[in-house]
């Protein structure tokens, strides 16, 4: 077990659910498949303390999302990151999905024990915008823009990949704040503007959503992540094979 990280918080909770029993999927789906208008959705969020979980693509989330919502894209490692970042499987959830993917999202949440979804936004995020509700965006730039900005401004860079990925190869002088433990690193982020990236862009958008939900808005996400950064004129450390770390 040497080198393995601690299991996500939902693992032992799933064990207890398997021992004590749990609601049927039909019951979970009946409770969760409530299409809420923007006004009803906002009221439910305020009255229940539910987390608003946005499972659309990272590009859609960056271009517009409900303030304080958390992004975990359905087309990435969805269950893993929901389980790692939302520690309590009993946490009430409200969903924002692309049209037609509501039941898929609910089923995948239930597979890892998250059975307390209380509804989803009818008409998706477009309905929210059409209702003239407040929304937010994530500042996101291409690697070419990142190269130009960094060569001119020399802003702090935060890499949210796992420690092993970071030690293997990273941007020179970057800080490692792994997404798994992002809440432990909140004090590390500066008050001035900084860059954030992961390997390909999925995890950094999750991190951006968490930081913004905590009131940290002065971030710029680098599209394409480290995989794209390696192709531009930015200094990176010498590669070290992860198996030797």
pLDDT beyond 60 at 20: no
- 117's CB contacts (< 8 A; 6+ apart) are 28, 31, 32, 92, 93, 94, 95, 106, 109
CATH number of 140-244: 3.40.250.10
- High-pLDDT (> 90) share of the chain, %: 81
Going by pLDDT thresholds of 50, 70 and 90, the confidence category of residue 4 is low
Higher pLDDT, 111 or 189: 189
The pLDDT tens digits of the residues spanning 51-97 come to: 999 999 999 999 999 999 999 999 999 998 998 899 899 999 999 99
Going by pLDDT thresholds of 50, 70 and 90, the confidence category of residue 9 is low
Say how many C-beta atoms besides its own lie within 10 A of residue 103's C-beta.
Answer: 13
Residue labelled with tokens 């004590």:
20
**CATH 3.40.250.10 region(s) of the chain?**
10-130, 140-244
Tell me how far CA of residue 26 lies from CA of 78, 85, 106, 182, 189, in angstroms: 22, 26, 11, 35, 43
Rounded Cα distance between 112 and 81, Å, is: 11
Going by pLDDT thresholds of 50, 70 and 90, the confidence category of residue 232 is very high
Closest CA to 202 of 58, 92, 106, 5: 58
pLDDT beyond 90 at 19: no
pTM of the model as a whole: 0.89
Going by pLDDT thresholds of 50, 70 and 90, the confidence category of residue 5 is low
Which CATH topology does 10-130 take? Oxidized Rhodanese; domain 1 (3.40.250)
Span 12-22, average pLDDT = 57
- 157's CB contacts (< 8 A; 6+ apart) are 150, 171, 173, 174, 175, 194, 195, 196, 197
């Amino acid at each position: 077990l040497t080198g393995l990280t601690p299991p996500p918080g939902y693992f032992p909770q799933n064990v207890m659910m398997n021992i004590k029993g749990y609601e049927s999927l039909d019951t979970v789906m009946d409770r969760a498949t409530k299409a809420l208008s923007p006004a009803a959705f906002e009221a439910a969020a305020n009255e229940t303390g539910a987390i608003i979980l946005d499972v659309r693509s990272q590009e859609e989330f960056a271009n517009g999302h409900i303030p304080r919502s958390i992004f975990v894209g359905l087309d990435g490692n969805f269950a893993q990151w929901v389980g790692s970042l939302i520690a309590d499987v009993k946490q009430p959830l409200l969903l924002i999905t692309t049209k037609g993917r509501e039941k898929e999202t609910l089923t995948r949440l239930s597979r890892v024990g998250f059975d307390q979804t209380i509804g989803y936004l009818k008409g998706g995020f477009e309905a929210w915008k059409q209702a003239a509700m407040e929304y937010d965006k994530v500042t996101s730039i291409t690697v070419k823009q990142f190269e130009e900005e960094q060569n001119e401004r020399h802003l702090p860079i935060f890499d949210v990949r796992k420690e092993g990925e970071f030690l293997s190869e990273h941007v020179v002088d970057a800080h490692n704040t792994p997404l798994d433990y992002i809440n432990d690193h909140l004090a590390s982020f500066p008050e001035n503007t900084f860059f954030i990236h992961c390997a390909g862009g999925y995890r950094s958008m999750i991190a951006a959503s968490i930081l913004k939900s905590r009131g940290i808005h002065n971030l710029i996400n680098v599209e394409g992540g480290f995989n794209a950064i390696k192709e531009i004129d930015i200094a990176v450390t010498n590669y070290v094979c992860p198996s030797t770390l």
